[in-house]
Structure formats: structure tokens, C-alpha cells
Amino acid sequence: MSQSNDILQVLLTEEQLKAKCAEMGAQITKDYQGKNLLLVTVLKGAVVYLADLMRCIDLPCAIDFMVVSSYGSGVKTSGVVKIVKDLDQDLSGKDILIVEDILDSGMTLSYLKGLLQGRNPASIRIATLLDKPSRRKVDLQADYVGYEVPDEFVVGYGLDYDEKYRNLPYVGILKPEVYTK
Ligand SMILES: O=P(O)(O)OC[C@H]1O[C@H](OP(=O)(O)OP(=O)(O)O)[C@H](O)[C@@H]1O
Ligand code: HPA
Ligand SMILES: [Mg+2]
């Protein structure tokens, strides 16, 4: 059965996502000239965005990954951010750009930013493809934002519900009956 049957509405098409990566990549390329850029990506959701964004950054840059989880198999944050896998390197002197798929309650990123800040990087910023400001629980803003999304649970382009839908090429609103039944 096609996963598209569970989608209420397509919010962002493949073409829009591609254009946004090009736009954000060009801005990051401008801003990080002469810097020691390290893209820190939060698995698993942000992996699709990273793969597209990094190819639009025309600069030498390294990548590294963390696994952090607070949603488990639900649609609401547990509020407890768990580090499942940490970075493999020292951050001193590096210009860190945290790459995320979505900034929702902000619990994940505020925890992560604080943690990495304590490791003495040269700078630290956040790039998020999606921003859902209506759900924010902590005062946090990203430095680079792709699109603002409404207060709906969205999936696709890396974002999951219960580990499904990550491979949809677009971002769509999940039908509520999928997670209320
Ligand atoms: O702003 P918040 O409310 O903290 O939500 C954002 C986080 O939630 C999702 O991750 P999740 O914990 O579902 O892990 P996943 O990336 O493996 O899907 C998403 O990828 C962000 O990392
Ligand atoms: O809307 C969402 N969709 C998928 N994962 C998420 N993690 C936080 N918000 C969301
Ligand atoms: Mg998730």
C-alpha cells in the first residue's frame, strides 16, 4: 500500500525542497568563507536534508553525526532528550552548524546547543529545514530556517511517524487517524 494514502495534504513538494536547499546552501557558502565549518547532523530525521544541503555548500566542510531521541514512537516530545550516539571529534576551533530537519518544541536543539557550546567551538549556529514556532516550549530560534510549518504533525523527507514515511520525497501533513487509532 502506498504511504501517500496516509497524507492529508502535501505541504512542500520535491521541487520546493530542492530550491530551498539551493538557497540555504548559497547563503551558508557566503557566511562561512574562511571558516572551519563542521556540519553536525542529528540523526535520523535530518539525514535527507543534510544530503541535499551539503551538496549546495560550495566550501570545504566536514560532517559528523549525533543520535538524539525524544519522540520515540509518538507525536509528542517526551521532554527528555536522550543521547544515543555522540560526536567522534573535538570541537575546539571549529565553526559548528547544527543541521536539523525540524525545530518544534525546541527541547532537542536547546539541549544540544548547550551541550556543544560547552565544548569550546569557535562558533555555533543552527540550520533547520522546518520551523514550527507555534509549539515552542523553550526560547530558541534557528539562524537559518527553510520553511515555517503549521501546528500539524508532518512527515516525509526524513521526518517520521513511528519510523515510517521518512522516504517520502515531499513533506506532508499526516492524517490524524493514523496516530489516533
Ligand atoms: O523541537 P523538538 O520538539 O525537540 O523536535 C524536533 C526533533 O524531533 C525529531 O526527532 P526524533 O526525536 O523524532 O528522532 P528522529 O530524528 O530519529 O525521528 C526531529 O528530527 C528533531 O530532532
Ligand atoms: O511534526 C513532526 N513530524 C515528525 N517529527 C517531528 N518531531 C517534532 N515534530 C515533528
Ligand atoms: Mg522522529
- What residues contact residue 127 under an 8 Å CB cut-off, 6+ apart? 24, 28, 53, 97, 98, 99, 100, 142, 143, 144
Q: Is residue 173 part of a domain?
A: no
Residue 158 lies in a domain: no
Residue 53 lies in a domain: yes
Q: Which ligand is nearest to the CA of 45?
A: 1
Determine, yes or no, domain membership for 113. Answer: yes
pLDDT of residue 81: 84
Q: Write the CATH number for 78.
A: 3.40.50.2020
**What are 87-137's pLDDT values in tens digits?**
989 999 999 999 999 999 999 899 999 999 999 999 999 999 999 999 999
Asked if 122 and 95 touch (Cβ cutoff 8 Å), the reply is yes
Q: How much is the pTM?
A: 0.94
Q: What is the DSSP letter of 164?
A: B
Q: Does ligand 1 come within 6 angstroms of the Cβ of 112? A: no
Mean pLDDT in order along the chain per 10 residues (181 residues): 95 98 98 98 95 98 90 70 90 98 94 94 98 96 98 97 97 96 73
Regarding an ipTM greater than 0.95, the answer is: yes
| DSSP string of 108-130, one letter each residue | HHHHHHHHHHTT--SEEEEEEEE
Residue-number span of the structural domain to which 145 is assigned: 15-151
Distance 163 CA to ligand 3 centre (A): 7
Q: How many domains in the chain?
A: 1
Examine residue 39 and state whether it is found in any structural domain, yes or no. yes
